[in-house]
């Protein structure tokens, strides 16, 4: 009987559940909207039912699911499988998701930070396939980080390592919701980019100001990227600033880890062409030569599947006895 792993990507917008082969390919995938405003209990029940159906579907296909890997946003106490808090799931505080899922689905369960999962997915079958050391930054609503060393996720003592979005790149920078100031996240996240454009619109002219008239607060990072491509100076400057701080963060990672590869994923990478030259310039000035030449900076490959593949991979890694958190 063939084996598979169930991967879950529990996002603020969608819940994705997929069956993943032992080689990292997607066997089947399902998706439902999360609707977090319906409350934690309903979301969990939805997730459990999706899981049950997925397990059932695998069995009907003649495969035996080995484990469940769940990637979730926010602060995850990986060792205990607890979601401590999550910006996209506001009423999820100290939720023992691993224990809850294990009780209903009789399979080993791993709850992993979604950014760690994405990093592992990219290392397993994505842009960093086969890399021994890889740093992944997910530039989305927030900025997440995943660290792969010796081919495995580095979790730290409490499973809370790799909060790379909350390392300081400018000590006197804007307030971050984590309590710190000048985190990488305030510059390199979609939220941060939109916030900075809005701040500048008070005094400066921009395509966005004109096209949105009195309703400046209804544009997204994607609108900013589009305006930048059309030559809008305010948007270009904000993306350049983003590139600068992202470059500072990446230079720090290069000098800290001397890794093989740095993978950037998430919606903000849509502006790749506008920010990557600035990033590379900054890394050239700030990082040592040998590790800088070593570390390739590349775009992620797995897209929407990164979460489910990576979460399944994390469960697979745990099953291989490489940690004791299963």
Provide the binding-site residues for a copy of itself, judged by CB under 8 A: 75, 77, 84, 132-133, 145, 147, 149-150, 154-164, 166-171, 178-181, 244-245, 248, 251-252, 255-260, 285-288, 290-291, 294
Least Å from the CB of residue 180 to a copy of itself: 4
Report the residue number, 32 or 168, with the smaller CB distance to a copy of itself.
168
Q: Which is nearer to a copy of itself, 90 or 156 (CB)?
A: 156
Nearer to a copy of itself, 139 or 169 (CB): 169
Instruction: Dig out the tokens for 176 from the structure.
Output: 């971050």
Secondary structure class of 305 (helix, strand, coil): helix
For a copy of itself, the closer of residues 149 and 230 by Cβ is 149
Shortest Å distance, C-beta 238 to a copy of itself: 16
Judged by CB, which is closer to a copy of itself: 107, or 147?
147
Q: In the complex with a copy of itself, which residue's Cβ is closer, 71 or 249?
A: 249
Q: How far is the CB of 76 from a copy of itself (least distance, A)?
A: 11
DSSP symbols for 128-164: TTT-SSEEEEEESSSEEEEEEETTEE---TTS----G
Minimal distance in Å, beta carbon 127 to a copy of itself? 17
From CA 169, how far away is CA 246, in angstroms rounded? 8
Beta carbon of residue 164, minimum distance to a copy of itself (angstroms, whole number): 6
**Closer Cβ to a copy of itself, 147 or 235, answer by number:** 147
Instruction: Tell me, letter by letter, the H, E, C secondary structure of the chain.
Output: CEEEEEEEEECCCEEEEEEEECCCCEEEEEEEECCHHHCHHHHHHHHHHHHHHHHHHHHHCCEEEEEEEEEECCEEECCCCEEEECCCCCCCCCECHHHHHHHHCCCCEEEEEHHHHHHHHHHHHCCCCCCCCEEEEEECCCEEEEEEECCEECCCCCCCCCCHHHCECCCCCCECCCCCECEHHHHHCHHHHHHHHHHHHCCCCCHHHHHHCCCHHHCCHHHHHHHHHCCCHHHHHHHHHHHHHHHHHHHHHHHHHCCCEEEEECHHHHHHHHHHHHHHHHHHHHCCHHHHHHCEEEECCCHHHHHHHHHHHHHHHHHHHHCCCC
Least gap, CB of 288 to a copy of itself (angstroms): 6
Residue 50 vs 297, nearer CB to a copy of itself: 297
Note the residue count of the chain: 326
Minimum CB–partner distance for residue 151 and a copy of itself (Å) = 12
CB of 179 to a copy of itself, least distance (A): 7
Distance of alpha carbon 45 from alpha carbon 294, whole angstroms: 46
Closest approach of a copy of itself to the CB of residue 10, in Å? 20
6 or 164: whose CB is closer to a copy of itself? 164
């Amino acid at each position: 009987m063939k084996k598979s792993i169930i991967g879950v990507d529990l996002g603020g917008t969608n819940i994705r559940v997929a069956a993943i082969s032992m080689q990292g390919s997607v066997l089947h995938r399902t998706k439902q909207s999360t609707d977090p405003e319906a409350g934690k209990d309903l979301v969990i029940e939805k997730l459990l039912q999706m899981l049950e159906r997925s397990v059932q579907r695998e069995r009907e296909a003649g495969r035996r699911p080995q484990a469940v890997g769940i990637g979730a946003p926010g602060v995850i106490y990986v060792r205990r499988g607890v979601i401590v808090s999550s910006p996209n799931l506001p009423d999820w505080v100290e939720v023992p998701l691993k224990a809850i899922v294990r009780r209903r689905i009789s399979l080993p369960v791993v709850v992993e930070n979604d950014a760690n999962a994405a990093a592992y997915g990219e290392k397993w079958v994505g842009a960093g396939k086969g890399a021994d050391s890889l740093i992944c930054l997910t530039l989305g609503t927030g900025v997440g980080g995943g660290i792969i060393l010796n081919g495995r996720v580095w979790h730290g003592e409490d499973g809370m390592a790799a909060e790379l979005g909350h390392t300081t790149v400018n000590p006197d920078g804007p307030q971050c919701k984590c309590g710190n100031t000048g985190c990488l996240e305030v510059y390199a996240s979609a939220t941060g980019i939109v916030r900075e454009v809005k701040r500048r619109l008070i005094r400066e002219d921009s395509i966005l100001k004109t096209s949105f008239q009195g309703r400046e607060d209804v544009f997204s990072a994607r609108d900013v990227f589009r305006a930048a491509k059309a030559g809008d100076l305010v948007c270009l400057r904000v993306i350049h600033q983003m590139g600068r701080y992202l470059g500072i963060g990446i230079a720090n990672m290069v000098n800290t880890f001397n890794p093989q590869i740095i993978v950037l994923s998430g919606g903000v990478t849509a502006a790749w062409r506008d920010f990557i030259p600035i990033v590379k310039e900054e890394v050239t000035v700030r990082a040592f030569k040998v590790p800088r030449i070593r570390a390739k900076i590349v775009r992620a490959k797995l897209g929407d599947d990164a979460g489910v593949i990576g979460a399944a991979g994390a469960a697979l890694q745990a099953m291989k006895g490489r940690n004791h958190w299963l």
